Chains A and B, each alone.
Chain A
């Protein structure tokens, strides 16, 4: 398989997953804010903080208001992590590999892109947002299922999985980070809200029901963190995603370096005592995790993708 084609498939999967998880991110924050008493709500800035796009945001917007942040995350084409940018990029990647991707998947992606742009105004309103985001998440899920169920499970599929699960691991950790970033003061009267907020996080990952089935204890910080980071059976948990990445890597040639980095990531994840981490420590842990995911991506790109144009071709191998 051509390196360029592998790269396009990988990014197709990453962008689809990114669009879905950005929708989840906006939706978890909206729910959190509804649950919190007026006056202590942290507002919308944490979403920009955890996507790490503050500089870009501040260049174009005066304040971190709901309208501005939601616009930035949903539709701003200058922000490569916005839902519209991600879907447009997924579509461009898909266009070049139409012989690899089943036609129905291309049509589904096309339809998703059209829905997202045509209904965008709905998504910007407080009342229309929930339905818009839910529809987006549902359609990306359908697309993911369509690819799994109809695409040839060869090398190309492994790159689809690599892209999907790396992006998902990264985004799940960011979604959990929304909660740690809100940094509610440790006060006895705020305790009940704490639980409510973790329920919100679970729900935005479609994890609430599965958490209850798997943990069978009431929702509280420690077990929830363990579930969304360390579960090896919940498909949006970071640990599960790492295993899926490992399965993909194992089917590819010249995979030693990438597997080593993955092994390091998985060990540090397994060894983390999440419930003991203060919110600030948790934030640091998530940062480190994301840096590790970044390293793994670099290794995948260096091993299998096209070399960057700057490097002289003769030295490529």
Chain B
């Protein structure tokens, strides 16, 4: 017999839990779902978790890690069956906020590569731009199709202990993870079919066709069916699974740099068995600097010589456009609320994590006085390098950092240490809270679209805040659920429909429950 889950024992003090407000008190939107999970019990939930793990292996959902012998191995994608649920009303606000943010960022990027009005008007400091490592001089004056630079954006959202959702960072270069969002949904449908059917989370499966439409809208030859390709660095890239997956789902060719060439007419072609074939739109999953040895790093073997030339001539579209990463910078991030106000004359719908800009004397003083409680990040590093996590650092480390900040204040920002929200997660002994973030994807071309939810990443180690898959992170399905649909537990509604007219599925579930008791 499966032991029922007792939500009054669920230890969610001190953090905001996405599903449980306080021990024994489910949040409104999941009151019914938690009752169903409780009845399912820990053992049955473990069985479902195992089924999910098997499905993932069978479906070949993997990510690549480098092995010691120089080869690579595909590792199965870690996944937790308990979904993260967001009420539809809240999501609508987040969605509007993301659209607003990306619209402003695109205007900002376009302005930086043209008149730089935002600098002339004194809203954005010129020295921040001068220090940006992702600003590409080669892109000055270029007019990409529709004036859009960041067609695919992945913004990381976190919820702090106050229950408020913040944007932690925007990824405007080659954000990844969307294929796992899609696969997580397939796995959930397989292993929790009855709950899925009952709570009817909004679908996520449109993404590949939306992505294709976004890319197709950029085609320089709108009259013809556009030749869209996905450009990958190759099978040894850690996101190769996603590149292959998206190409397959869109029915586009998956190409490597050597498959493409730019001819004397400044058009881009791919080598096919039938001869050269013109390419209209390239969804590139290669970083700017490797795109074109003529324009950027001359030693890049991954890119296509002349590609930037063809792009500037308007003969091929690149998504995202080279240089879009200029807005993907920690100091630029700190200015996003001002950027939104400047271009759209609106307040930001989703706030930034409060950020201190050390370049401003008042902020600098505060940061230096409060180093022990802040996270300090250098502007031009990524992947967590060169960060100071104040509460965890030694006094000596803080002193060294204070000196570095005073030396070059413009290169640093600081943020309070966040208490990432948690979601119930299956562990060896039942169910415990684990920290999560959320990466939705925003598509921009002739119109804007946001994924329904996004990829919820979860730090599977107890107490850990690291959600990265290479460091013990996993993921969850993300459900956007209408409050009306979710109000009744499955068990209650099936009892109410006790007439023979009820569906076969419900009747069957009841029989099974009775026989296991």
Contacts and interface: CB of A to CB of B under 8 A. Distances in A.
Given A313-B306, A314-B264, A2 B271 contact: yes
Nearest to A307: B271
Contacts of B276: 316-317
B248 interface: yes
A4 to B, nearest CB: 5
Contacts of A96: 234-235
A254 B272 CA distance: 12
B248 A254 contact: no
The 8 closest A-B pairs by CB, nearest first: A313-B261, A3-B271, A1-B273, A6-B273, A317-B276, A304-B273, A4-B259, A253-B274
Interface in A1-37: 1-4, 6
Interface string A253-270: 110000000000000000
B322 interface: no
Interface string B278-316: 000000000000000000000001001110000000000
Nearest to B270: A2
Nearest to B301: A309
Given A313-B262, A314-B306, A317-B276, 11 more contacts: A1-B273, A2-B259, A3-B259, A4-B255, A6-B273, A99-B244, A254-B275, A309-B258, A314-B262, A314-B263, A314-B264
A306 B272 contact: no
Interface string A272-314: 0000000000000000000000000000000010110100011
A218 interface: no
Contacts, number: 61
A96 B247 CA distance: 13
Interface in B195-237: 234-235
Contacts of A307: 271
Interface of A: 1-4, 6, 95-96, 98-99, 103, 155, 159, 252-254, 304, 306-307, 309, 313-314, 316-317
A2 B272 contact: yes
B264 A2 contact: no
Contacts of A98: 244
Contacts of A2: 253, 255, 259, 270-273
A4 B60 CA distance: 24
Interface of B: 60, 234-235, 244, 248, 253-256, 258-259, 261-264, 269-276, 301, 304-306
Nearest to B276: A317
B306 A3 contact: no
A1 B272 contact: yes
A313 B255 CA distance: 16
B272 A3 contact: yes
Contacts of A306: 258-259, 271
Contacts of B259: 2-4, 306
A4 B261 contact: no
B272 A316 contact: no
Given A309-B258, A313-B262, A314-B261, A4 B273 contact: no
B190 to A, nearest CB: 18
Q: Most A CB atoms within 10 A — which of B244, B258, B270, B305?
A: B258
B244 A253 contact: no
A98 B245 CA distance: 11
Nearest to B247: A99
A155 B273 contact: yes
Contact of A253 (B253, B254, B262, B275): B275
Contacts of A155: 273
A104 B262 CA distance: 38
A317 B263 CA distance: 9
9 contacts: A2-B273, A3-B273, A4-B258, A253-B273, A306-B258, A307-B271, A313-B306, A314-B262, A316-B271
Contacts of A6: 273
Contacts of A313: 261-263, 304-306
A251 to B, nearest CB: 11
A98 B241 CA distance: 11
A250 to B, nearest CB: 14
A307 B259 CA distance: 9
A316 B254 CA distance: 21
Contacts of A95: 235
A253 B276 CA distance: 12
Contact of A4 (B256, B269, B274): B256
